[in-house]
Amino acid sequence: MPMFMSTPDTACAVFAAAIRCARVFPICVLGLNLPPPLRFAHIAIVGLLLYHPAWVCGAEIVRVITRFAPSPTGSLHLGGARTALFNWLFARRHGGQFLLRMEDTDQERSSETVAQSIIEDMAWLGLHHDQDVVIQSARRERHTQVAEELLARGKAYYCYCSEDDIAAEKLRHENEGKHYRHHCPSRDANHAQSGTAGVLRLKSPENREIKFTDGVYGEISVSSEQIDDMVILRSNGHPTYLLAVVVDDHDMCITHIIRGSDHITNTIKQMLLAEAMGWDNPQFCHIPLIHDEGGAKLSKRNRAPGVHEYRELGFLPEAVCNYLLRMGWSHKDEEIITMQSATQLFSIEKIGTSHSCLDSKKLLFLNHHYMNQKTELEILGLLLPFLEQELGHTVAETKLARLSLGVKKLMERAKTLADLARDSVFYVQNIPISVDDDAKQVILKSSELLAKLVGAMSQIEPKTWTKDFLSSYIKEWTKSNDVVISDVYHLLRAAIAGRLSTPSISEVMEILGQEECISRLRFFLNS
């Protein structure tokens, strides 16, 4: 393959253009002798055909089809979500399809509930799949059919070696410093032994280099001497993961497989399976793994955080997607990349070969950015479930209207929706409001000042209850009463907001209103 076509993006585009031109060329020739009016119409039709790849090229030839194939044995963690995102972006970038398949061959650990949660997490991220979800276990008959065909072709054989014998032989080779490659004595038999349960194995090739050009890592080569005769049917007749994946990818017409670099060994084996069936292999693109902040690989086994956890913590899907996109893929030095932009910019060539590490500070930065792109109305809609969880009850519309006046100021500090709910809950609480420990201490030691403030606030004319007037009034009042102004502000914040850190307390008091503020001050005075 020429160097300029060595990447999946370029090869796909060049191949598509060549097929289009070849198919449209005869139509172009037919229009050369047409009179001018018809010739112009002819040019328009040719242009339309060139633009429409499904008609000219045929979907089976140039249409990109990717897939995400999680195992429903654990929640969708960030590594899996990034794999789904890259497959989704590549398909959208090329006007193709993004399919979803649940690989539930591990029936003991697979769960329909987990599968549904993965689908919900993907929908929350905006990674909507095309067509129906494929359930791998529902295709067992098809997988078995292919296994039997491989047996009939002499590409597979029944093995009756016990697991204990294989383990002992493997250990012996390891002790001798040799690589163990399982070859069963039954390898050349073409029939099953009656009354004996065996596994069906694929015959791996002898003395051969198995090569493929990876979309990220370039050429990868493995000696066939490193590849066992892999099991494709278990002794109970159930197909293995390796067989099911190859059959499903072929039947789903998958053109590109983008997945973690830990699958490279599987890829070699799957290529051999496809080759044994006479099938073309898709373009493989293996992406570097994500490590946690301690340097360990993300996995279900080491309790990698799930997408649903970030959702529950109040992260926005666009922030999580932007964060995942920048872990392994880059466009110049840009940190903020919307999904709309990414569908136009994404390419395999820009994926790096070094692993990425989780960076919670970067995710918080991105989430803060995307939160502040929202309008007050949008934020209130997103914030409401978190507020109701904080309160333990629904929020009245009148109190939401009050919150809408103050939420933008609070967003300057909040990094997540959960943070924002905690910071803003005082706007919508009924008396008694919740009070943190620092605020409680201020209230307990300020009963005399609290009584004076209740009187001072009650003397203000309702029509003058504005942040500007309150700010001036409090300053004048502290001077005339020989009170330290910081003590007054601390007490007002403690008794009115239940915390010592708020936006301008004069602004908060204007939003809450005179009656509510005095009621809160009186409650703590009388307690």
Binding residues for Zn(2+) are 159, 161, 184, 188
Residue with tokens 């497959």: 87
**Residue ranges for the binding site for ATP?**
300
193 phi and psi angles, rounded to 5 deg: -80, 130
Whether residue 495 contacts residue 430, with contact meaning beta carbons closer than 8 Å, is answered with no
Question: Where are the extended beta strands (E) located within 334-407?
Answer: 356-357
Residue 445 is encoded by which pair of tokens? 């030691």
**Residue ranges for the binding site?**
159, 161, 184, 188, 300
Task: Output the CA–CA distances (angstroms, integers) from residue 156 to 71, 147, 204, in the order listed.
Answer: 26, 8, 9
What is the number of alpha carbons within 13 Å of residue 54 lying toward its C-beta? 4
Concatenating the DSSP letter of every residue in 209-245 gives: EEEEEETTTEEEEEEGGG----EEE-TTSPBPHHHHH
71 phi and psi angles, rounded to 5 deg: -95, 125
Q: Is 194 helix (H, G, I), strand (E, B) or coil?
A: coil
Going across the sheet that includes 65-68, the strands are 65-68, 97-102, 134-135
Could you tell me the end-to-end alpha-carbon distance of the chain, in angstroms, rounded to an integer?
82
DSSP 257: E
Q: Centre a 10 Å sphere on the Cβ of residue 444 and count the other Cβ atoms it contains.
A: 11
Whether residue 329 contacts residue 351, with contact meaning beta carbons closer than 8 Å, is answered with yes
Nearest Cα residue to 318 out of 368, 357, 280, 275: 368
Q: Is 156 helix (H, G, I), strand (E, B) or coil?
A: strand
Nearest Cα residue to 78 out of 297, 313, 369: 297
Whether residue 443 contacts residue 524, with contact meaning beta carbons closer than 8 Å, is answered with yes
* Separation of alpha carbons 523 and 67, rounded Å: 60
